[in-house]
Amino acid sequence: MSKEMILFFMLPSDILNHYASIKGMQPMDLCNSVATNNPDWINNVTDRNQFITLADLCHDFVGLMSGDDHFVPRL
């Protein structure tokens, strides 16, 4: 399974759909864009040897969507 697909299934659909509609994209295309633009982050998220919480995943995704230069991801 691709990393984009893993992200698609891990994120709550309401958060993913909200940001996809804001960006004018399909949710899977948004996941692809996030994975392409943040390769280190997506590798950390999809690393099966690392435990991550849904709160950390949502925090990072929302932060990446905000485009804030001072955002620091948890993962």
Cα separation of 34 and 65, whole Å? 8
**pTM above 0.95?**
no
Q: What is the largest CA-CA distance in the chain?
A: 34
Q: Which amino acid is at 31?
A: C
Region 1-9: what's the mean pLDDT? Answer: 96
Single out the residue of 49, 52, 53, 72 nearest to residue 62, CA to CA: 72
Question: What is the C-alpha R_g of the chain?
Answer: 11
Model confidence pLDDT, tens digit, residues 10-67: 999 999 999 999 999 999 999 999 999 999 999 999 998 889 999 999 999 999 999 9
Domain extents for the chain?
3-66
